[in-house]
Chains A and B, each alone.
Chain A
């Protein structure tokens, strides 16, 4: 039995690994398609053709693409992320601090959004059709429909400009006390929580409502079970698969998709770093950021898959 689980889990991991290689291939060739010649950009318009040619050779830019890809992939596998074109620093050093910042923001948001979304989704399903359920549904649809830059700028307008409670920008290096943390993270976390919770609430509610209409839940009802018991004991364990997948999907967004929030609050995260790298044609940096996003996404989805397998006794 446990053997079966292990083989299923190993299977998922292998699929994740293969996906990662395919994505790395796509990332590498997509970035080489970016317009403009790196050497020319680095040296500026006025550089002599000889200087450009010399730099091209030095950077192996004239090698066939497939060689450069393999070279890069080998480097990645050994932990060598390459050197940034733009400022000649190791990519690892550039990313390090930024990545930690992104993880911090993601972790704080997840710690608030996931319990909140699950509670709202499950309770809405529990009292389906009630005023409470409708209020939650309307609220989540409302929030989904508002673009995040709208939420973020409104938050800045209200809390920073009018009320002057919070700083408009997040300078993470000034943080020393818990109160500082609260002030710095309040608005970005609030905005992101709005953005990622709505989808989780809706998926959780839908999954639980669907299992609530199954014969085994009716059977439990006819055994005299109360509504909370029906939902928590009978419906929820069977709805876990779709729910963890919805959670994983929402959380993966926090790792790479928060560019708007980072820009508005000037939060030094990795998404903003990537956009800056695109502006400077800093290929190694773009590639590494893309790989990090992909890795985070795959880790979460694979984790969700494995959790779904574990929650199903038929597969266990």
Chain B
């Protein structure tokens, strides 16, 4: 029997802004059998989403399918006209987007959008469609299934929207569903629920799936087979077990290696005496909105948090989105309008806002932001970006500054040739290195890293972590490392503070990491996907 989906020698071409054409998918072959879930895995730019989109006969603006065929249930999506493609979309092939929050139309109710497929393809009456949608909401264990459809997208949470997007895909009884990184934007605790709902629903209806992800552990829970992609080419195909436990291709092994626990043995370096901590935060409360009479902000994102960082040690702060970890980082760095409580650096209390802090205080403590894309001025070259703090903090110019810029680039392992480039001409990993080098330019003692690896692929992120460790050894730095990703924090931190709803829940050392005492920490740790295909089932419901 012919497979449900068969892609043969697919080639997709992209036109760059400069007008240059390049092949981003180079001769990919792929089969998906009836009811089978195949994962496409690879780092960003590997072409996994582009391939998945071709199943719908769609190429994003700037891309064009230039060769090969994509057969879905016999029909070649490449050869079909726009009308025939539209007839297949939503009925035979459906799509679950990466960010449901962006994929729902803000001006329409959820129900109108969920049942739109049935109206477009005239599948059933509106009442029948509504009844079916409510059934699906129940099957996807959404709260208040009867009424949730009457709300607007901004009135439900991200995890619920993602499941509603699945309902939207299921309503037309498709044969194949494309899952485009559907859980990447979610917290680990929410991700578990969403994955479970997807798995149950596809299994019950015998729907085939193409699951696009960069996260092997997530894919391991849901896929029957895994296709490893890189630079638009298939590197390795195998069953989930084969890929996880008997990978043949070096690139697959590299991806797997990024998952191995990198917990380091740092206990030997413990200082004998306990001198004044480098950074001490006492009862810090910060937030947004107008300040109330008692001095607290209207919305307190961080409530009375205390912590300390020893010299040469790293503190991790972990928690899901909205727990206040970034607000805490910004308050410590002095870029919030103010806060209650105390921040002491080297035993000295420092002012609440960066504007009031001395240049010396500012120099000692630097912050690196998550998105290098937005943190670096796109109009400045790398040397301007690095040169400015050198002039500002150290009054350097001319040859001394030039030399120092070269040294900084060496430190973050970037070729000196890049110094005249602008951020737009660098890769994501390179940008984050420049971003980090800019913080190093001040010669700080402490660097606050706010989710600096979250926007990077696993392999690139692992390299950045390695770099941080190396720099720490050479420059005796301390890091405050903020992340929602436990494995990253574990890899580099001596102590970990767990935050939940603005409060410090627990502080863990490497010894107590395996046995957290607080219920929320236990849930958080248990929700991190493991490279074990049976992990999801093994979780208590």
Q: Mark B111-155, 1 if CB is under 8 A from A, else 0.
A: 000001100110000000000000000000000000000001010
Q: Contacts A223-B89, A224-B86 given; indicate if A234 touches B105 (C-beta within 8 A).
A: yes
Q: List 19 A-B contacts (CB under 8 A).
A: A213-B61, A215-B97, A215-B103, A218-B60, A219-B104, A221-B89, A222-B90, A223-B89, A223-B90, A223-B117, A223-B168, A224-B88, A224-B91, A226-B86, A226-B120, A229-B120, A238-B107, A313-B107, A314-B154
Q: Mark B91-117, 1 if CB is under 8 A from A, else 0.
A: 100110101001111111000000011
- Interface residues of A, dominant DSSP: helix
A171 contacts B by Cβ under 8 Å: no
Q: Report yes or no: B120 in contact with A225, Cβ–Cβ below 8 A.
A: yes
B111 to chain A, nearest CB (A): 13
A149 contacts B by Cβ under 8 Å: no
Q: How far is the CA of A225 from the CA of B89 in the complex (A)?
A: 9
Q: Report yes or no: A216 in contact with B90, Cβ–Cβ below 8 A.
A: no
Across chains A and B, the number of contacting residue pairs, with CB separation under 8 Å, is 72
Q: Report yes or no: B152 in contact with A215, Cβ–Cβ below 8 A.
A: no
B475 contacts A by Cβ under 8 Å: no
Interface residues on B, range: 20 to 34
Q: Contacts A216-B105, A234-B105, A311-B107 given; indicate if A222 touches B154 (C-beta within 8 A).
A: no
Q: Report yes or no: B89 in contact with A224, Cβ–Cβ below 8 A.
A: yes
Task: Tell me which of B60, B102, B120 contacts A214 (CB under 8 A).
Answer: B102
A97 to chain B, nearest CB (A): 44
Chain B residues with Cβ under 8 A from A215's Cβ?
97, 99, 102-103
Chain A residues with Cβ under 8 A from B89's Cβ?
221-224
A312 contacts B by Cβ under 8 Å: yes
Q: Report yes or no: A224 in contact with B106, Cβ–Cβ below 8 A.
A: no
Give the residue among A215, A219, A311, A312 with the most B Cβ atoms within 10 A: A219
Chain A residues with Cβ under 8 A from B163's Cβ?
none
B328 contacts A by Cβ under 8 Å: no
Q: Contacts A216-B103, A238-B105 given; indicate if A313 touches B152 (C-beta within 8 A).
A: yes
Q: Mark A228-245, 1 if CB is under 8 A from B, else 0.
A: 010001100110000000
Task: Tell me which of B58, B86, B102, B154 contacts A216 (CB under 8 A).
Answer: B102
Chain B residues with Cβ under 8 A from A249's Cβ?
none
Q: How far is the CA of A313 from the CA of B108 in the complex (A)?
A: 8
Q: Report yes or no: B104 in contact with A216, Cβ–Cβ below 8 A.
A: yes
Task: Tell me which of A214, A220, A237, A311 contacts B116 (CB under 8 A).
Answer: A220
Q: Report yes or no: A224 in contact with B152, Cβ–Cβ below 8 A.
A: no
Q: How far is the CA of A26 from the CA of B34 in the complex (A)?
A: 75
Task: Tell me which of B97, B106, B117 contacts A313 (CB under 8 A).
Answer: B106
Q: Report yes or no: A219 in contact with B95, Cβ–Cβ below 8 A.
A: yes
B106 to chain A, nearest CB (A): 6
Q: How far is the CA of A218 from the CA of B106 in the complex (A)?
A: 14
B87 contacts A by Cβ under 8 Å: yes
B96 to chain A, nearest CB (A): 10
Q: How far is the CA of A225 from the CA of B83 in the complex (A)?
A: 10
By beta carbon, the residue of chain B nearest A217 is B105
Task: Tell me which of A216, A224, A314 contacts B121 (CB under 8 A).
Answer: A224
Chain A residues with Cβ under 8 A from B97's Cβ?
215, 218-219
B193 to chain A, nearest CB (A): 22
Q: How far is the CA of A213 from the CA of B62 in the complex (A)?
A: 12
Q: Contacts A215-B103, A219-B103, A313-B106 given; indicate if A224 touches B87 (C-beta within 8 A).
A: yes
Q: How far is the CA of A238 from the CA of B153 in the complex (A)?
A: 14
Chain A residues with Cβ under 8 A from B229's Cβ?
none
Q: How far is the CA of A219 from the CA of B95 in the complex (A)?
A: 8
